[in-house]
Homo-oligomer: A and B are copies of this chain.
Amino acid sequence: MTAPLRVALLGCGTVGGAVLRLLDEQAADLAARIGRPVQVAGVAVRRPDRHPEVPADLLTTDAVGLVTRDDVDLVVEVIGGIEPARSLILAAVEAGKSVVSANKALLAEDGVALHAAAAKAGVDLYYEASVAGAIPLLRPLRESLAGDQIRRVVGIVNGTTNYILSRMAETGAGFSEALAEATELGYAEADPTADVDGFDAAAKAAILASLSFHTAVTAADVHREGISAVSATDVARAAEIGCTVKLLAICERVPGEEGDTVAVRVHPAMIPTSHPLAAVGGAFNAVFVEAEAAGQLMFYGQGAGGEPTASAVLGDLVAVARNRVAGAAGAGPTAYAELPARPIAETPTRYHVSLDVADVPGVLATVATAFAEHGVSIATVRQDGHGDAATLVIVTHSAPDAALSSTIAALREVPAVRGVTSVLRVEGLS
């Protein structure tokens, strides 16, 4: 056994702590799997006094100094956020260190520049832990399916919103009430914006789309709607039509006459309860992948948490360490396809719409006309009369999203329509 590979750890929160513990517990196994032992060279934190569990001589507040030290071979970044993570990763890469990161926000914003820097320096930049925690997903997309054409990726990739939506379905609670419960139980952060407004899922969608379609997709390319507008009525309506509401990250390659485009979006949607994603509860994540030759694949597992995320970080660490031992960096992702992003307005979707209407003759005809005038075809309609009013529940066929939203706007102006009580996209219907 030769000299150890030395690892710098940036950040020591829940994930960093788990990484340190596993590096220690699994030391013998890691050494055997890599061919060289792994040693922690230092741990950069903001407040060393808050980490009594880490040997004091390893702690430092000088993160830049640490990642550029000559005795450091590999860098693990689990700080999160854009800065200082970006500068530190760039400094590490330029100093010739391979980097493992769990940073979805940074990779989704600036993956292209970071990959370019890594390629230029001949080092690895791996980030399996950034999407869907422990679930092996980026490596399968990037490597196992590298000889196939991926068409579609649909996933539940945010545990907080999944918990909230599950609770709304179980208890009939509204969004605010379910969020309050999630916050109290620690499933939602004090500032839940990143989760409930879909920023977290959108960053993950950008990473998934980039790898799936060999195209640079950033978070800014992702159409993003959170779940704060999902009402108890939406959830109840979903149940009535045999569906459940989930926040989905959807990455699609849309064929077109002038070439394929890539449509990436995050929004709540109704999916049939028979759909495998419908049963994914709580902290679990699941991602469906549809490829030309492979057909349908599903990946399922824990999407968050210190241990599962650390498992993904260590998997990457073993990979970059093996590459270091072999003396060659692994192949980075490619972005040669350069498929243009398709705006949400032009992306084909399906809508569920519930309307309160006056129960007068001809109201269905009036409503149906509004759909037809926008080129939207209706798949199913159910009319429930009660007194002088009626409820219309409509599920459309697929149409450009803009046509669907114009239809809704038009319906709001129809005198016989007293209210649009629920509008949500529908996915996974045959």
Contact = CB atoms under 8 A, between A and B. Distances in A.
B315 A145 contact: yes
A147 B318 CA distance: 6
A421 B298 CA distance: 38
Main secondary structure, interface of A, reads mixed
Contacts of A327: 328
Given A214-B32, A315-B146, A307 B326 contact: no
A329 B18 CA distance: 31
Interface in A144-167: 144-149
A296 B301 contact: yes
B144 A128 contact: yes
A329 B326 contact: yes
A147 B296 contact: no
Given A136-B140, A140-B139, A295 B307 contact: yes
Given A33-B334, A310-B293, A311-B148, A143 B318 contact: yes
B33 A144 contact: no
A252 B136 CA distance: 20
Interface string A327-353: 111110010110000000000000000
Given A26-B149, A146-B318, A317-B147, A298 B301 contact: yes
The residue in A147, A298, A317 that gathers the most chain B C-beta atoms within 10 A of its C-beta is A147
Number of copies of chain A assembled together: 2
A250 B112 CA distance: 42
Interface in A297-329: 297-302, 305, 307-308, 310-319, 322, 325-329
A326 B331 contact: yes
A147 B33 CA distance: 9
Contacts of A293: 18, 22, 134, 307-308, 310-311, 314
Given A295-B308, A299-B300, 7 more contacts: A134-B293, A135-B297, A147-B314, A295-B307, A298-B300, A326-B329, A327-B328
27 contacts: A29-B214, A32-B214, A32-B337, A33-B334, A134-B291, A134-B293, A134-B297, A135-B297, A136-B140, A136-B144, A136-B145, A139-B144, A144-B312, A146-B318, A147-B311, A147-B314, A148-B311, A276-B300, A293-B308, A293-B311, A296-B301, A298-B299, A298-B300, A322-B330, A322-B331, A325-B331, A326-B330
